[in-house]
Amino acid sequence: MTKAQSIKNLALYHYQSCPYCAVTRRAIDQKGLTVERRDIQKNREHRNTLTRQGGKPQVPCLRIERDNGNVEWLYESASIIQFINRQKNELTQAA
């Protein structure tokens, strides 16, 4: 089983006018990956969840949920884009 297959859900915490979020959204779109988007300016609950569970209200942040129930909160646009690229490569190799 590849690492790519062990991921249950990806969710990007973001907001529209954040430039780091825009770069991250574009990278995700270019890779053609399906990632749920959670806008923390439009939805207070998303902001609260990010702050409580992720640790801080900084965006972008990628919530990575594994099949085994583990959840990881990945901050920093460069790290998220690196993760997305790796993920896409693994999916391509697994196909």
Ligand X SMILES: N[C@@H](CCC(=O)N[C@@H](CS)C(=O)NCC(=O)O)C(=O)O
Binding residues for ligand X (CB under 6 A) = 18-20, 56-60, 76-78
6 or 30: CB nearest ligand X: 30
Q: Smaller CB distance to ligand X: residue 76 or 90?
A: 76
For residue 66, give the nearest of 5, 20, 17 by alpha carbon.
Answer: 5
Distance in Å, CB of 71 to ligand X, minimum:
19
| Residues 6+ away with beta carbon under 8 Å from 67 | 5, 6, 7, 8
Q: Which residue, 4 or 39, has its beta carbon nearer to ligand X? A: 39
